[in-house]
Structure 1
Amino acid sequence: MMTTDLDEKVVKKTDKYTNDKDEDQVKLSDSIYFYRSKKMSNNGEVYEGTMHSKTYGTRTIAVKLVQYSKQNLEEASILLLLNPHTHVVSIIDADVYQGQFKYMYIAMDKCHSDNLRRFVENRRKNEIPFNAELMIDFTKQLFTGIHYIHDKLVIHKDLKPDNVFLSLDQKVLKIGDFGLSERVDSRTRTIRSSKGLGTDGYRAPESFESGFPTSQKTDIYSLAVLIYYLWSNGRHPFGNEKDLWNHFMKNNLNMNLDGILLPDADIAKDLLIWMLQFVPRNRPIIDQVLSHQYMVPNNVKGLLFREFQETSESLESTEQSLLNLPHFKNETFHVGINATEKGNIQVSSNSSSRLSNLILVAKMLQEHQKIKMASHLSMDRTLLHDDIYIFWDKKLSHDPFTDIEVFEGRTNEESSSSKPLAIKVLRGFNKLVLGAGRTIVEAAKSIQSLPFHPNVVSIISVGDIRNQSGLNASYVAMERCHSGTLEDYVLERKRNNVCFDFKLALEHSIQLVSGVYHLHTHGIIHGRLYARNILLSLDMQALKISAFAFGRQKLYINNSSGEVFDHGVISFQSDVFSLGVLLYYIWSNGCDPLTHDDNRQFENYKNLNLMDLQIPNSKLAQHLLTKMLEKRPSQRPTIKEIVDHSYWNSIS
Structure 2
Amino acid sequence: MVPNFAFRFMSHNSGDDEFCEDTRTSIVQYGPDPPEILELSDMIIMFRDRPIGAHDNVFEGEIKSLAGVYRPCVVKFSLLNEQIENEATILTKLGSHSNIISLILSGAYTGLLECNFYLVLDKCHNQNLGQYIMSKREAGELCNSTEMLEFARQIVAGVTYLHDNRVIHLDLKPSNVLISLDFSRVKVADFGLSVVLREGQCKIFHKSQFGTNGYRPIESFGNNWVSRRTDVFSLGTVLFNMLSCGKNIFGGDEHALIHNVMNDITDFTGLCAKNPNTWQHLIGNMIKKERSRRPSIYEVAKHPCWVGDEVEITSGYYDEEETVDDARLCTDSKSDASSRNKEAEGAAARNLLYAIRRLGCLRKPAVVIFNRAEFTLMSFNPATYDVSLLSTYSAKMSRSYFSAVCLNEYIYVFLYDQSVYRLE
- TM-score normalised by L of structure 2: 0.72
Give the conservation status (yes or no) of the 8 Å contact 2:292–2:318. no
- In structure 2, the residue matched to 1:437 is none
3-state SS of the aligned residue for 2:37?
strand
Measure, in 2, the Cα distance between the counterparts of 1:107 and 1:382.
Answer: 42
Question: Is residue 2:107 matched to residue 1:117?
Answer: no
Which of these residues, 65, 70, 73, is aligned with residue 61 of structure 1? 73
RMSD over aligned Cα, in angstroms?
3.9
Percent of aligned positions with the same letter in both sequences? 26
- In structure 2, the residue matched to 1:464 is 396
Q: How does 1:208-607 map to 2 (within 5 A)?
A: 208=221, 210-252=222-264, 254-296=265-307, 367-368=357-358, 371=361, 383=370, 385-386=372-373, 463-465=395-397, 475=401, 477-479=403-405
Give the conservation status (yes or no) of the 8 Å contact 1:91–1:108. yes
TM-superposed CA distance for 1:477, in Å, is 5.0
1:4 partner letter: A
Cα 1:69–1:370, aligned 2, differ >3 Å: closer, same or farther? Answer: same
- In structure 1, the residue matched to 2:210 is 197
Measure, in 2, the Cα distance between the counterparts of 1:277 and 1:120.
Answer: 25
Measure, in 1, the Cα distance between the counterparts of 2:122 and 2:30.
Answer: 26
Measure, in 1, the Cα distance between the counterparts of 2:233 and 2:276.
Answer: 19
- In structure 1, the residue matched to 2:153 is 140
Which of these residues, 29, 48, 55, is aligned with residue 14 of structure 1? 29
Give the conservation status (yes or no) of the 8 Å contact 1:156–1:181. yes
CA offsets 1:91-114 (integer angstroms, 9 cap, x no match): 100111211311100000111000
Question: Is residue 2:120 matched to residue 1:107?
Answer: yes
Cα 1:308–1:235, aligned 2, differ >3 Å: closer, same or farther? Answer: closer
CA offsets 1:589-622 (integer angstroms, 9 cap, x no match): xxxxxxxxxxxxxxxxxxxxxxxxxxxxxxxxxx
- In structure 1, the residue matched to 2:335 is none
Cα 1:473–1:279, aligned 2, differ >3 Å: closer, same or farther? Answer: closer
- TM-score normalised by L of structure 1: 0.48
Give the conservation status (yes or no) of the 8 Å contact 2:100–2:188. yes
3-state SS of the aligned residue for 1:294?
helix
Instruction: Write 1 or 2 for the structure with the bigger share of strand.
Output: 2
Measure, in 2, the Cα distance between the counterparts of 1:256 and 1:125.
Answer: 21
Gaps of 5+ in 1: 299-304, 311-363, 395-407, 415-460, 466-471, 484-531, 539-652
Measure, in 1, the Cα distance between the counterparts of 2:241 and 2:317.
Answer: 27
Measure, in 1, the Cα distance between the counterparts of 2:184 and 2:99.
Answer: 11
Cα 1:307–1:38, aligned 2, differ >3 Å: closer, same or farther? Answer: closer
Measure, in 2, the Cα distance between the counterparts of 1:289 and 1:223.
Answer: 10
CA offsets 1:464-496 (integer angstroms, 9 cap, x no match): 34xxxxxx9865653389x9xxxxxxxxxxxxx
2:372 partner letter: H
2:242 partner letter: L
3-state SS of the aligned residue for 2:306?
coil
Measure, in 2, the Cα distance between the counterparts of 1:224 and 1:217.
Answer: 10
Measure, in 2, the Cα distance between the counterparts of 1:72 and 1:225.
Answer: 26
3-state SS of the aligned residue for 1:95?
strand
1:55 partner letter: A
Give the conservation status (yes or no) of the 8 Å contact 2:133–2:143. no
1:294 partner letter: C
Cα 1:387–1:260, aligned 2, differ >3 Å: closer, same or farther? Answer: farther
Measure, in 2, the Cα distance between the counterparts of 1:214 and 1:308.
Answer: 16
CA offsets 1:306-334 (integer angstroms, 9 cap, x no match): 89989xxxxxxxxxxxxxxxxxxxxxxxx
- In structure 2, the residue matched to 1:151 is 164
- In structure 1, the residue matched to 2:143 is 130
Gaps of 5+ in 2: 9-22, 310-314, 321-353, 407-411
TM-superposed CA distance for 1:78, in Å, is 0.3
Aligned length: 352
Measure, in 2, the Cα distance between the counterparts of 1:387 and 1:219.
Answer: 35
Measure, in 2, the Cα distance between the counterparts of 1:537 and 1:266.
Answer: 38
1:478 partner letter: A
- In structure 1, the residue matched to 2:99 is 87
2:158 partner letter: G
Give the conservation status (yes or no) of the 8 Å contact 1:275–1:284. yes
CA offsets 1:4-38 (integer angstroms, 9 cap, x no match): 299x965736325999xxx5311111111101110
- In structure 2, the residue matched to 1:30 is 42
Measure, in 2, the Cα distance between the counterparts of 1:473 and 1:158.
Answer: 41
Measure, in 1, the Cα distance between the counterparts of 2:33 and 2:42.
Answer: 12
Higher relative contact order (CA 8 A, sep 6+): 2
Measure, in 1, the Cα distance between the counterparts of 2:369 and 2:418.
Answer: 27
- In structure 1, the residue matched to 2:12 is none
Give the conservation status (yes or no) of the 8 Å contact 2:237–2:249. yes
Larger radius of gyration: 1
State which drifts further: 23-32 or 218-227. Answer: 23-32
3-state SS of the aligned residue for 1:74?
helix
1:368 partner letter: R
TM-superposed CA distance for 1:282, in Å, is 0.9
